[in-house]
Chain A
Amino acid sequence: MLKRLRENKSFQGTLLVSPTLLWMIALLFIPLILTTIISFGTRNADGGVIYGFSFHNYVRLFGFSTDCPGGQASCFDPLYANILGRSLSLAFWTTVIVIALAYPLAYFIARAHPKRRNTFLMLVLVPLWTNFVIRVYAWMMLLREQGVINGIIGWVAARFGVQFEPLQMLYTPGAVLVGMVYEFLPFMILPIFTSLEKIDVPLYEAAADLGANPFRTFLRVTLPLSMPGVVAGTILVFIPVMGTFIVSDLLGGKQVILVGNLIQNQFLSARDPTFGSAASLILMIMTLIVTYFYTRKFGFGEEIIAV
């Protein structure tokens, strides 16, 4: 009996995945079903849930308000649709800027002397030793009106006798973008570095040997071979940026509200778990759709050629 179990590969496989599987069922699958059920319900006066089957939360999310001026039955209110759009656009731009910053750096590290390579990688990882929230607070110190950046500019301006009004940087969409880019940069650098490092030096030599100058070598050899890293990095950056609320909360204040903040508010201050659940599901579906089309075009960042 034991011997048969030992030789049964499929049993061994089940045994090995079962802890993760149970974990996923308890903490992802079941909550997801609950969230879905709640999202179709209605909120009662105490912030509890009246279960039912109503689409009104979704209708509200996409801009159909039932709370209209002039006593109309319904009207278009793009408040929540704007939040969804803003989240999508911020996630997009964050990803684009992160790729633009991470690629050259990853390239530099990958082609650095092996002795120095680990030091550079270490430097990329050092910020991650500090808590995510604390790093966002650090940006508040830098960006606020009496912050480090304004202080330096003010000091320089004073030396040259120029009038200087402190810049309003904190609580702007720009501050949120800077914060997001900063927080997620390492998650792009590492996968791009990994895929660049895997490119054998003779490949660059072969391209040069066949008549490609450095620029064309980059376009035809380096870039395509490092795409798996870019794709993996994009997935690692885009998805969390879509859902995060801490960065926008601390650096954007009331000015920059993202889906993440909306969900957080619905569950905590507005006490409408049904609307929060609907927003969560829409966030998830939106992310899934974008990721689906993206990965269908570029793959998941595995080897480009599957044999």
Chain B
Amino acid sequence: MTQTSEFAVELRDVVKTFKTPEGTLLNAVDHVNMQIKHGEFFSMLGSSGCGKTTSLRMMAGFEWPTEGDVYIEGNAQGHTPPFQRPVNTVFQSYALFQHMTIYQNIAFGLEMERAPADEVKTRVGRLLDMVQLNGMERRYPKQLSGGQQQRVALARALVKMPNVLLLDEPLGALDLKLRKEMQLELKAIQQKVGITFVYVTHDQEEALTMSDRIAVMSKGKVMQVGIPVEIYERPQSRFVADFIGESNFFEGIVQSVEQDRATVLVPSLKAEVTGLNTGQVGVGQKAIISIRPEKIRISEQPALKTNFFNGTVKTTTYIGSDTHVYVDMGGGVTLKVWEQNKISSLDPRAYYVQGQKVCLNLFPENTLILAES
């Protein structure tokens, strides 16, 4: 692959407007900028209707931007039809040709390039090896299991060695166990072939597992782009903190800002909370405090000198690896705390129980102070 540009795919100020059935106009993709690097496993993550699939379809050429443009290898795509773009797609429904054998399905793209017959044969053979479908080439798609069909769809797109492979929720139809296996396998294949993967998913765990970088999208906009750790540990907005994993939120007014700490007065707790200064807020501004349930330290006696709060256990849920403890802080505030079950015990009293007085310690480095969105 020749690298003619810094980015494999770039979206520059892309807008896609659709007409709703009611006749109003809707920006499914709203001024999106995105830079996807060569060889990267890039995921677009969001709930349905966030614009992730529309963005992908614009890269493939099935849709054309209303404003802005898609650049592939630095070339503006404009209204280039899909069959002239150096990208290939793995469809959510697989879209396999039911009237062709597995071999014919995979060879289709090469035949369209008018590749010589012996080259088609070697390349299809190599892909069949890669996706472990040897011996299946004479079968028809309907004779394969869902997971096998998924591999055919992948092989059919990859055999063309595109600059970019676009994947639209390709694992959505598989059961959980198979999905997890395929996640690892997809990632391995991506690293082996070195092709840029753009992956659309609504499954945050899938995105975190596989991606080099993730773009979290909502209502047609990109909320945050970053490596998985950044997205989870340093969400830049309440939306991202809430969408990826779970978080506890309080609202308050910023009292003081130091280098890496900010202190916020939280009316509902009737107390001040010190957390990590993300640089988003100044003194006197409204702020959101966000802390993940597994990062709160629960104890009977305070473990910190400050930033600890007393509460009463409201309910607990034992889920095997963890116990979820819901603590009533008074003033109508309930915090979720995930406590890992590190010690094996059959005695229910070994765990936190309803009505127990506990102390919640919020370590400032785990407590994010975000601007109000």
Residues of A within 8 A of B (CB): 200, 202-203, 205-213, 216, 220-221, 224-225, 304-305, 307
Q: Which residues of B have CB within 8 Å of A224? A: 99
B95 touches which of A205, A212, A305, A307 (Cβ 8 Å): A205
In the assembly, what is the distance between CA of A1 and CA of B319, in Å? 54
In the assembly, what is the distance between CA of A98 and CA of B164, in Å? 45
A205 touches B91 (CB 8 A): yes
In the assembly, what is the distance between CA of A212 and CA of B156, in Å? 13
Question: In this assembly, does B160 line the interface, its C-beta being within 8 Å of a C-beta of chain A?
Answer: yes
Question: In this assembly, does B93 line the interface, its C-beta being within 8 Å of a C-beta of chain A?
Answer: yes
B89 touches which of A203, A206, A216, A220 (Cβ 8 Å): A206
Can you identify 30 A-B contacts, CB atoms within 8 angstroms?
Answer: A200-B95, A205-B82, A206-B89, A206-B91, A206-B95, A206-B96, A206-B156, A207-B108, A208-B82, A208-B83, A209-B60, A209-B62, A210-B83, A210-B88, A211-B83, A211-B160, A212-B112, A213-B81, A213-B83, A220-B97, A225-B97, A225-B98, A225-B99, A304-B98, A304-B99, A305-B98, A305-B99, A305-B140, A307-B140, A307-B143
Q: Which residues of A have CB within 8 Å of B62? A: 205, 208-209
B95 touches A211 (CB 8 A): no
A202 touches which of B83, B95, B109 (Cβ 8 Å): B95
A210 touches B99 (CB 8 A): no
In the assembly, what is the distance between CA of A220 and CA of B99, in Å? 10
Instruction: Give the dominant DSSP class at A's interface.
Output: helix
B88 touches A209 (CB 8 A): yes
Q: Which residues of A have CB within 8 Å of B160? A: 210-211
In the assembly, what is the distance between CA of A305 and CA of B62, in Å? 29
Closest to A220 in B: B108
Give the Cβ gap from A203 to chain B, nearest Cβ, in Å: 5
Give the Cβ gap from A286 to chain B, nearest Cβ, in Å: 31
A216 touches which of B87, B97, B112 (Cβ 8 Å): B112
In the assembly, what is the distance between CA of A307 and CA of B95, in Å? 18
A305 touches B97 (CB 8 A): no
Q: Would A209 and B82 be within 8 Å (CB), given that A220-B108, A305-B140 are in contact?
A: yes
B142 touches which of A211, A216, A305 (Cβ 8 Å): A305
In the assembly, what is the distance between CA of A209 and CA of B89, in Å? 7
Give the Cβ gap from A226 to chain B, nearest Cβ, in Å: 10
Q: Which residues of A have CB within 8 Å of B88? A: 209-210
Other A-B contacts than A213-B83, A225-B97, 19 sampled, CB-CB below 8 A, are: A200-B93, A200-B95, A203-B95, A205-B89, A206-B91, A206-B96, A206-B156, A207-B97, A208-B83, A209-B157, A210-B83, A210-B108, A210-B156, A211-B160, A220-B108, A221-B97, A225-B98, A304-B99, A305-B140
